[in-house]
Amino acid sequence: MRAALWPDEDPDLLAHETMTHFGADKPKQIVLVAEGATGALVGMLELSLRSYAEGCNSSPVPFVEGWYVAAEARMQGVGRSLMEGAERWALSRGFTEIASDTQLANGASQDAHAKLGFGEVERLVAFRKTLKA
């Protein structure tokens, strides 16, 4: 599912990313999954704790790093259920905010976030530069 969500990324790198920890009992990232009627996975949501998220007042902040629903399961409440699970997880641990982002061109994701009560806080263009010794 990670490869479907991030098709331009190296599949081997995506498959081998590991969870890091704040402490033995405090995971820095959790993954929620949704099963279809046959038991096959049809959705996933990766949630991390970031020290900062745009527009948020608290730290750390639960942050939706990835949210994916397979094409055949879309518009059936799978994405909503995954996000509600993330929100329950965050609330049960005393967090008061949850954050997310999406690409500027991803109107479907922007619409889904808005329907679930997320408010847009800013738009940005990200930059990088390769440093040479």
Whose tokens are 């099963």? That residue is 35
pLDDT, position 21: 38
pLDDT tops 90 at residue 105: yes
Is the predicted pLDDT of residue 102 greater than 80, yes or no?
Answer: yes
Q: Cβ(90)–Cβ(100) under 8 Å?
A: no
Do the beta carbons of residue 54 and residue 99 sit within 8 Å?
yes
Residue type, 65: E
pLDDT of residue 86: 97
User: What are the tens digits of pLDDT across the range 55-97?
Assistant: 999 999 999 999 999 999 999 999 999 999 999 999 999 999 9
Q: What per-residue confidence (pLDDT) applies to 43?
A: 95
More confident residue, 86 or 22: 86
Euclidean distance between CA atoms 63 and 94, whole angstroms: 14
- pLDDT higher than threshold 60 for residue 20: no
Q: Please check whether the domain covering 2-115 is classified as CATH 3.40.50.720.
A: no
